[in-house]
Amino acid sequence: MDKDGIIALLNQDLEGEHGAIIQYLTHAYAMGEGEIACEIEPLARDEMRHLDWLAEAIIELGGVPSLERGKMRMGGESVADWMRNDVLLEEDGINLYREHIKIIDNPKIKRLLQRILSDEESHHGDFEHFVNKAQKEGAKDVRGSRTDKVVQTLNWGIEHEYTVILQYMFQSYKTTNPEAKKQMEDQAVNEMQHLGWLAEKIIDINGDPRIEHTEVDRSTRTADMLRADIKIEQEVAAAYDRAASETEDPDLKQLLLRIRDHEIYHTAIFNDLLKEEE
Ligand SMILES: [Fe+2]
Ligand SMILES: [Fe+2]
Ligand SMILES: [Fe+2]
């Protein structure tokens, strides 16, 4: 199999990981603080690591990591149904990895996919266990139906955070500047925290967190990437600031200001990197 063929298969795997991350996080947030939710989060983190390894392997082969999200299995009436969907999603992944391991002849890639497959097999068992646990303990869907301006603002925040997580991760794969790579990875991790805080806050106030993203910058030169990052950070710092001044809820205000301050810090980091690039 030629390089392009392998890259196409790895991108299919990467898209599957992306879908799994969002499906599992959506389920974890929708369950609130429960025990199952806490046990799902490390599984979502495993999938993030898989996505990262696949992207690096694609770059090493001279390819471009896909930004598409693979098929998700959403829906279901109860937490047990969601966990069944997660079992099925793991089965989709396991079947795909087995097939790719069979047809890819590059030993290094084969080894990587075997490594990932062993995690998916373990996750499959974990989710089967969560189906039983959800049935026994009656784990609940804690999402509410509140859709006022506060919830809309928080969901706007999630949309922004998800967008920049993707943007900084994919830029970090493409940039040839090692310091920029490190900073993009670090800031992406910080944006993941923001996404989690916003989702938890929405659950707290009886809303429904929606994990969708908008257009991701696709620059190929590091200086252009950084310019796009600075622009988006400045815009959102201002938006979080505005949202903080509009709310009467002291906890929400504090949360929004904390995120705003992080975004101001991100702008400064990216500005320093840009100065060195120019
Ligand atoms: Fe995975
Ligand atoms: Fe953020
Ligand atoms: Fe930021």
What is the number of the ligand closest to the CA of 50? 1
The domains spanning 3-137 and 149-277 adopt the same CATH topology = yes
For 161-180, how does the pLDDT look when each residue is reduced to its tens digit (9 = 90+)? 999 999 999 999 999 999 99
Give which of 222, 198, 226 is closest to 210, Cα–Cα: 198
- What are the extents of the domains in the chain? 3-137, 149-277
The whole-number average pLDDT for the span 64-82 is: 96
For 93-113, how does the pLDDT look when each residue is reduced to its tens digit (9 = 90+)? 999 999 999 999 999 999 999
pLDDT value for 100: 98
255 CA from centroid of ligand 3 (Å):
14
CB 211 within 8 A of CB 162: yes
pLDDT value for 139: 84
37 CA from centroid of ligand 3 (Å):
26
**pLDDT at residue 125 tops 90:** yes
Contacts of 32 (CB under 8 A, 6+ apart): 140, 142, 203
Label residue 26 left, alpha or beta by phi (over 0 means left) and psi (-120 to 50 means alpha).
alpha
Report the CATH fold assignment for 3-137. Ferritin (1.20.1260)
181 CA from centroid of ligand 1 (Å):
23
What is the number of the ligand closest to the CA of 17? 1
Give the rounded distance of the alpha carbon of 209 from its chain centre. 14
For 136-162, how does the pLDDT look when each residue is reduced to its tens digit (9 = 90+)? 987 889 999 999 999 999 999 999 999
Q: How far apart are CA 60 and CA 210, in angstroms?
A: 34
pLDDT value for 206: 95
Q: How confident is the model at residue 220 (pLDDT cuts 50, 70, 90)?
A: very high
Q: How confident is the model at residue 132 (pLDDT cuts 50, 70, 90)?
A: very high
150 CA from centroid of ligand 3 (Å):
20
265 CA from centroid of ligand 3 (Å):
8
What is the number of the ligand closest to the CA of 264? 3
pLDDT value for 33: 79
Percent of the chain with pLDDT over 70: 100
265 CA from centroid of ligand 1 (Å):
32
What is the number of the ligand closest to the CA of 19? 1
Alpha-helical (H) ranges within 61-148 are: 79-103, 107-137
136 CA from centroid of ligand 2 (Å):
37
222-228 contact pairs (CB < 8 A, 24+): 222/175, 222/176, 222/177, 222/180, 222/273, 222/277, 223/274, 223/277, 223/278, 225/171, 225/174, 225/175, 225/180, 225/184, 226/180, 226/270, 226/271, 226/273, 226/274, 226/277, 227/274, 228/167
230 CA from centroid of ligand 3 (Å):
9
Strands (DSSP E) contained in the chain are none
Residue at 22: amino acid letter: I
pTM of the shown model: 0.95
CB 211 within 8 A of CB 203: no
49 CA from centroid of ligand 1 (Å):
8
230 CA from centroid of ligand 2 (Å):
12
pLDDT value for 233: 98
pLDDT value for 253: 97
pLDDT value for 2: 93
**CATH architecture of the region 149-277:** Up-down Bundle (1.20)
Task: Give just the sign of the alpha carbon dihedral 108, 110, 111, 113.
Answer: positive
The whole-number average pLDDT for the span 253-263 is: 98
pLDDT value for 164: 98
The whole-number average pLDDT for the span 60-81 is: 96
Contacts of 14 (CB under 8 A, 6+ apart): 51, 54, 55, 58, 65, 66
